[in-house]
Structure 1
Amino acid sequence: MIQKLKLVFHTVKYLKFRQIFNRLKRRYIKRAINISPSPSVSIISRKPQSFVPGQSRMLGENRFQFLNVTADVEKADDWNLTNQDKLWLYNLHYFDDLNAIEAIQRASWHANLIERWIYENPPGYGNGWEAYPSSLRIVNWIKWSLIGNSFKQQWFDSLAIQVRHLSNNLETDLLGNHLFANAKALVFAGLFFKGKESDSWYQTGLNIIEKELLEQVLTDGGNFELSPMYHSIFLLDLLDLVNIHHAYNKKQISGVKDKIPLMLYWLKSMCHPDGGISFFNDGAFGVAPSLDELLDYAKKLGIKNISEKVKTLEYLKDSGYIRVERENLVAMLDVANIGPDYIPGHGHADVLSFELSLFGKRVIVNSGTSIYGISSERHKQRSTLSHSTVVIDEQNSSEVWSGFRVARRANVLNIKTKQNKNNIEVSAYHDGYTRLKGRPIHKRDWNFFDNRIIIKDSISGKGVHSVNSILPLHPEVSIINPQENSVEFEVNGKLVKIVFEGSGKLQVVSSQYHPEFGLSIDNKQLIYTYTGSLPFIGITKIIWQNY
């Protein structure tokens, strides 16, 4: 109980007062839902550019696949099944399939689904009326209408009721990407409808977006939640806002178009040669559009200055990520704090971790995200053990707990980068383990050459501790020659060797990689273990053939 109280204290102390106030307000003050008919619908000035299509999620008129789980939704209760994963139900209520690949072929299914949703989800009841799924559904219904699908008056009325309910239940307690999604929905609805009521929706959304842009987009272009996946979602939101304002011949929101080139460059810096995002903090494939899809969308919308090539050493200083690119290698390094103090829910205890591609293939990875909610598996995936960094005394570098909570957090200090003629050097240390007896500090030095990487982990402090240096390998990496303190494997026909030097012992252990929600793939972790007195120094060398 005392430990739980400490976790709560060290979590709540970072929250803004208005988050606590608004959480209580939303919980205890319920406003009546206005079910009056919808305002009139506006006429668009021009057809919008094609929205980015997501993956198809409807396998049949009543069959859906979300998070790699397939289920039938045949009766009213199925929208809110208590034995179904909450995130799966959220996805059901998003209505993403309305604008997915080959959606036109499922238009009759979509029309029936809208009818069913209205009939089986009365105002204010169930998962579908929560603010976040409401926001995504409102946008998806409007997009579906704008691309030429006919709407019944009953659907317009339901859409207006949803917008009114959302406007009274904005997620001002959570803030972050949730509040921005709320605001985007209000702006879409404010343009889609016309009249005094819709003008108020638009103005509310506009005010939130203009304010949140300043806070949520850092000066290096990164989204402040420091997740490449959520960065991509946010970037899509900005592009959609440009698109719909153009369709209605409405003045663009101040700052939106200016942020897009910076955010695209940031995303380029955080992607592997295969074009996919790196897994820092919550991240998985199949949730957000790819870099190529976002770049193509931006070009269609006339966004300029989006072709800049990423530098060989790019330090995204405000975000805390570093990209290193040399012949045949691309690495992303995490020298970031866990995220915004008051909203670290998507943060992992992954400080001083890194991801590495060699010869265009992922080799060293963070383990990804396959699950939300509160469970031991969710906790494990957020833990330091699931990332390519150092674990001391089997503790996390930041105290992640519950599903989306963080108590005491690691701070990254003394970040240095140096680009020489023949190599690139990066170093930093963090204080996340100073809460432990003996106050250990982890310092990591990376040294990148054309055919090798040398990583030096220095653990200072006092007393006896266990130190585990973790290297999760991509599932396609197959070890062919394990030795006492080294392993070998091939990448695209090239031999790669990882050697550990120091007074520790190497273990090759079975683990799992989580590239998508609902998907876990067996892989291997290299764990170099030392137990003894501090200080300790461990050297990791990654060497490959460069011919």
Structure 2
Amino acid sequence: MSEISKLKLFLNTIRYLKPIQVRYRVFYFLRKKLRGSLRINDSKTVYKITCTRLNLLPSIFSNSTYFSNNSFEFLNLQHNFPNKVDWDFSGYGRLWTYNLNYFEFLLQKDLSKEDGIKLIDDFIDTIDKNPTGIEPYPLSLRIMNWIKFIVYHQINPEKYKDILWAQVQLLKKQKEYHLLGNHLLENGFALLYGAYFFNDRGIYNQAKKILIKELNRQILDDGAHFELSLMYHSLMTYRVMDCYNLVICNDLFDQELKSFFKEKAELMLSFSQKISYQNGDIPLMNDAANGIAPSNEALFSYAGSLGLIVRESKLSHSGYRKLTNEIFDLCFDVGEVGPTYQPGHAHADTLSFELYIHNRPVIVDTGTSTYEV
């Protein structure tokens, strides 16, 4: 490719981005060049920090991905680490490594408290040698999963307060404004959990600012998440309900987020109910697969336990449309690929459709794979 062609490609790419994305991409690039990569030790504190014993109502169990003796399965690929877990293992690609570092297996039904603690301690021992683990997206999910595990198993929060504080501080330094979309939302959710865990109003104000702005931007009028992946919509719905759970069970800050999360969760649940097939399946258009996000059954059950109401709604701004009778469900996508500045979950699925007959898939989407080429 000639230099002129490269320049044209570059200009055609950045013209869709928001100024804040360009600004932060340049800032993070220069910071890395001048100061090197961020390290977890850079965020450890030299002064005494305090943490809070939190309360939470039961949430949704995660899918089983840990099978004892350091054996994990993600993306239908299983791997056993003979002696010690390599938390930066790259044998199955980047997405597999990301899943390993999320620590969602801490919330699976059959994982014991002892096994969870062992895995956390093992991770901490090698965190300085694990660049994937301190990237902002896996960092965000792990912060939330560790805190939930600590609360549900009634572990003394003092045990992990220093390493959690370091991770929250590291996340504050690399919020994903260069990407926006669901990545920035996950950063905000994690900071909210960190704010409650440490009873820190400064972190709370950061989280609140991100979440109010981004949820208002990212949740469309019909309740769909604006990146238009039904899987990510379910994940974001789950996350909003978890945050609602957090704020109603712990009276630490102002109550503005309580009503805000309730309104958004009910709107998103209503969209989930409207778009889903009669057997409860979600359309797998755009970036979506089964077994990643919680099922509709789990989401609606969780909503009921939180006192959330699922209302009747109409499909509109999402661009999804559905025809249904007693025999078939036909769902089709006639909307935009997603936000022009973040179309990463579109997967070339514009004008795609799926057909279910008698609750069984007949015409299906082509599906998704990994980050590898």
Q: Are the counterparts in 2 of residues 180 and 212 from structure 1 also a CA contact under 8 Å?
A: yes
Quick check: 23-32 or 341-350, which moved more? 23-32
In 1, Cα distance between equivalents of 2:12 and 2:346: 15
For residues 396-425 of structure 1, the C-alpha deviation after alignment (integer angstroms, 9 at most, x for no partner) is: xxxxxxxxxxxxxxxxxxxxxxxxxxxxxx
For residues 298-347 of structure 1, the C-alpha deviation after alignment (integer angstroms, 9 at most, x for no partner) is: 1111112x153x7xxx5x22111111112311111111110001000111
Instruction: Select the structure of larger CA radius of gyration.
Output: 1
Instruction: Indicate the SS of the match to 1:79.
Output: coil
Higher relative contact order (CA 8 A, sep 6+): 2
For residues 204-251 of structure 1, the C-alpha deviation after alignment (integer angstroms, 9 at most, x for no partner) is: 011100100110001111100011001001101110010011121252
Q: Are the counterparts in 1 of residues 52 and 157 from structure 2 also a CA contact under 8 Å?
A: no
| Letter aligned with residue 327 of structure 2 | N
In 2, Cα distance between equivalents of 1:307 and 1:13: 39
Instruction: Indicate the SS of the match to 2:177.
Output: coil
Name the residue aligned to 1:158.
Answer: 163
Q: Are the counterparts in 1 of residues 285 and 349 from structure 2 also a CA contact under 8 Å?
A: yes
Name the residue aligned to 1:22.
Answer: 24
Q: Are the counterparts in 1 of residues 319 and 333 from structure 2 also a CA contact under 8 Å?
A: yes
In 1, Cα distance between equivalents of 2:226 and 2:49: 36
Matches within 5 A, 1:187-202: 187-194=192-199, 198-202=200-204
2:222 aligned with 1:220:
yes
Name the residue aligned to 1:49.
Answer: 57
For residues 70-109 of structure 1, the C-alpha deviation after alignment (integer angstroms, 9 at most, x for no partner) is: 1123566822234331111111111111111223xx2211
Instruction: Indicate the SS of the match to 2:224.
Output: coil
- Change in Cα spacing, 1:175 to 1:75, as seen in structure 2 (3 Å) is farther
Instruction: Indicate the SS of the match to 1:71.
Output: strand
Q: Select the structure that is richer in strand.
A: 1
| Letter aligned with residue 21 of structure 1 | R
In 1, Cα distance between equivalents of 2:6 and 2:232: 29
Q: Are the counterparts in 1 of residues 51 and 157 from structure 2 also a CA contact under 8 Å?
A: no
Q: Are the counterparts in 1 of residues 137 and 183 from structure 2 also a CA contact under 8 Å?
A: yes
In 2, Cα distance between equivalents of 1:101 and 1:5: 52
Instruction: Indicate the SS of the match to 1:330.
Output: strand
2:370 aligned with 1:372:
yes
In 2, Cα distance between equivalents of 1:56 and 1:11: 39
In 2, Cα distance between equivalents of 1:152 and 1:292: 32
Name the residue aligned to 2:44.
Answer: 35
Displacement over 6 Å in runs of 4+: none
Q: Select the structure that is richer in helix.
A: 2
| Letter aligned with residue 122 of structure 2 | R
Instruction: Indicate the SS of the match to 1:363.
Output: strand
Instruction: Indicate the SS of the match to 1:357.
Output: strand
Q: What is the aligned-residue RMSD (CA, Å)?
A: 2.0
Which of 291, 301, 314 does residue 306 from structure 2 map onto? 301
Instruction: Indicate the SS of the match to 2:128.
Output: coil
Which of 269, 278, 285 does residue 273 from structure 1 map onto? 278
Name the residue aligned to 2:343.
Answer: 344
Instruction: Indicate the SS of the match to 1:323.
Output: strand
Instruction: Indicate the SS of the match to 1:53.
Output: coil
- Change in Cα spacing, 1:328 to 1:365, as seen in structure 2 (3 Å) is same
Which of 109, 124, 149 does residue 115 from structure 2 map onto? 109
In 2, Cα distance between equivalents of 1:204 and 1:97: 28
- Structure 1 segments unaligned to the other structure (5+ residues): 376-547
Name the residue aligned to 1:491.
Answer: none
Name the residue aligned to 1:398.
Answer: none
2:67 aligned with 1:59:
yes
Structure 1 residue 117: Cα displacement: 0.7
Instruction: Indicate the SS of the match to 2:73.
Output: strand
- Change in Cα spacing, 1:130 to 1:64, as seen in structure 2 (3 Å) is same
Which of 77, 81, 88 does residue 73 from structure 1 map onto? 81
- Change in Cα spacing, 1:137 to 1:150, as seen in structure 2 (3 Å) is same
Name the residue aligned to 2:179.
Answer: 174
| Letter aligned with residue 107 of structure 1 | K
In 2, Cα distance between equivalents of 1:245 and 1:115: 28
Name the residue aligned to 2:231.
Answer: 229
Quick check: 215-224 or 71-80, which moved more? 71-80
Could you tell me the TM-score, scaled by structure 1's length?
0.63
User: How many pairs does the alignment contain?
Assistant: 360
Which of 241, 247, 250 does residue 249 from structure 2 map onto? 247
Instruction: Indicate the SS of the match to 2:124.
Output: helix
Structure 1 residue 283: Cα displacement: 0.4
In 2, Cα distance between equivalents of 1:220 and 1:152: 40
Could you tell me the TM-score, scaled by structure 2's length?
0.91
Which of 190, 206, 209 does residue 207 from structure 1 map onto? 209
Query: % of aligned pairs identical?
Result: 35
Which of 6, 9, 12 does residue 10 from structure 1 map onto? 12
Matches within 5 A, 1:523-538: none
Matches within 5 A, 1:311-326: 314=314, 316-326=315-325
- Change in Cα spacing, 1:147 to 1:38, as seen in structure 2 (3 Å) is farther
In 2, Cα distance between equivalents of 1:199 and 1:307: 34
| Letter aligned with residue 222 of structure 1 | A
In 2, Cα distance between equivalents of 1:221 and 1:58: 33
In 1, Cα distance between equivalents of 2:142 and 2:81: 17
